[in-house]
Structure 1
Amino acid sequence: MANVTELAARLSKAVADRTAIDQLSDEAPDLDLATGYAVQRALREQAGPLSGWKLGVTSRAKQAQVGVSAPIYGFLAAGNALDLGAPLNTGELIQPRAEPEIVFTLGSDLAGPHVTATDVLRATAGVAVGVEILDSRYRDYRFTMADVVADNTSAGRYLIGAPVPPAGIDLRLVGVVLERNGEVVATASGSATLGHPAAAVAWLVRALAAEGEGLRAGEVVLSGGLTAAVPVAPGDVVVASVDRLGTVELSCR
């Protein structure tokens, strides 16, 4: 049986050493999603204050590609948030990649096994454009779904713009543009995440309900990458823009 404490310690050491390791399942072939989430919970207990949650594999096409039928989720450590205007120190990470996100800020608690996208929008105080910096602890981003869940869905850093009220905005249809060093590297629409970003957040609430948890007022949720993630290095400048939500810019050093 996979030893959850030992696996969590290997991932923590990779972060501390800033050195990629082989995927856990190479040496723990019985690693499954349930065990992956157990490893993630062990990491969460060591992470200090949390600010919310993040979703991964929210694209239906990506789910089909990797052979899963639902997204995955991880937690957001408050200490990993980047302030607007502050640079990303790539030297603190192993192999950073950037992707644009639509971010939800909860205005009220939300929990339960039957929460819908409409419930999410009703409970949302604001939505914002964000940039998530992924940083897999596995060499060359090579992993199974259980591996990446254990690795807190490759969480690295995150930047969130100023939120705006969601009323009157059809988040399915908003256009998304990701630029690196002044060149457009990817485009999408809000529907790229489960057909509607609020649907992705609703899935998260239902998944957390199965663990006796939920979302709390004031927490943020990164609703899932809207484009493929692009590598970033010192000197790069990444800009994410979402119609009606605004633009955020992140410089890398």
Structure 2
Amino acid sequence: MLTDYERAQVVVALLEANKTKVQTVRPSALYPHIEFEDSYAISAEVARRTIAAGAKLIGYKVGLTSIAMRRSSKIDEPDFGFLYDHFLIEDGAKVPHANYCVPRVELELAFILGAPLKGPGVTMLDVLRATEFVVPSIEIIDTRVDEPRQIYDTIADNGAGAGIVLGGRPYHPRDLDLRMVPGILYRNTEIEETGLSCGVMGHPANGVAWLANKLSTLGYALEPGQMLLAGSFVRPVWAQIGDTIRADFGDLGSVAVQFV
């Protein structure tokens, strides 16, 4: 467990990395005794200061939703991060690569809540009832800490959350089978990754249910209007300067972004 001083040092370093877009030393290298409680406390304090500086909290993201990713990280549950208004990017926009340290992209379904969700005990059905609509998205992930990262570093670093591109068509959960949404991720003209939404814990709403229950242990609740990224159902793909990224979600439509 870290001391308050050690946690504060990590918070300052992460805020500086967010500002300069230069990676900082990973917390686990500086403080090998770091624990999950430390990482979530650091992430929450970075969020508090980010909001105090003028950002608006618009929701949360879930990460490590696939069994393979959790096994590789040697953990038995996903993680989460905070989403801010400055993360939002218009579909088809050109985004400066310099806005990030080492950006990658993922395919995700974004759940927009129409009713509150508060754990414990939130189920997939609760999530579906509370969801106003679902829309396809590209998540831009970025790591503000250096390699080789451990799960403690990723959690402290906001679960690598950095940007959101929304597009396609909004659907009510009852109007489609959310388990079987296809995803094809293109980089320029090449197909880099393909997947199905059932790769997110069997059903993407399970990712949101986990989030609601996890947040309840930390004193948070999900509110109407918030956006929740349920987790990626493909592996992350590197984004280089000049790359056009397009995500095809079948009947839900497509989303695109270009890095310049």
Structure 2 gap ranges (5+): none
Task: Show the counterpart of 2:209.
Answer: 202
Question: Separation in 2 of the partners of 1:110 and 1:243?
Answer: 29
Letter in 2 for 1:95: V
Deviation at 1:139, TM superposition (A): 2.3
Task: Show the counterpart of 2:146.
Answer: 139
Which residue of the other structure, out of 28, 32, 38, is the alignment partner of 1:25? Answer: 28
Once the two structures are overlaid, the 10-residue window that deviates more, 32-41 or 62-71, is 62-71
CA contact (8 A) 1:137 1:151 kept: yes
**3-state SS of the aligned residue for 2:9?**
helix
Structure 1 gap ranges (5+): none
Cα deviation 1:43-88 (Å, max 9, x = unaligned) = 1112221110001100012112221110000100111111223222
Letter in 1 for 2:84: A
Letter in 2 for 1:34: E
Aligned pair 1:170/2:173, yes or no?
Answer: no
- State, as a whole percentage, how many aligned pairs show the same letter: 31
Question: Separation in 2 of the partners of 1:35 and 1:43?
Answer: 12
Task: Show the counterpart of 1:127.
Answer: 134
Deviation at 1:212, TM superposition (A): 2.1
Correspondence list, 1:1-253, <5 A: 1-2=2-3, 3-47=6-50, 48-140=55-147, 142-161=148-167, 162-253=169-260
The CA RMSD measured in Å over matched residues stands at 1.2
Deviation at 1:244, TM superposition (A): 2.9
TM-score normalised to structure 1 length: 0.96
Kindly report structure 1 stretches of 4+ aligned residues shifted beyond 2 Å. none
Question: Separation in 1 of the partners of 2:246 and 2:91?
Answer: 12
Question: Separation in 2 of the partners of 1:25 and 1:8?
Answer: 13
Deviation at 1:9, TM superposition (A): 0.4
Question: Separation in 1 of the partners of 2:224 and 2:40?
Answer: 24
CA contact (8 A) 1:53 1:73 kept: yes
Aligned length: 252
Letter in 2 for 1:107: G
**3-state SS of the aligned residue for 2:68?**
helix
Deviation at 1:243, TM superposition (A): 2.8
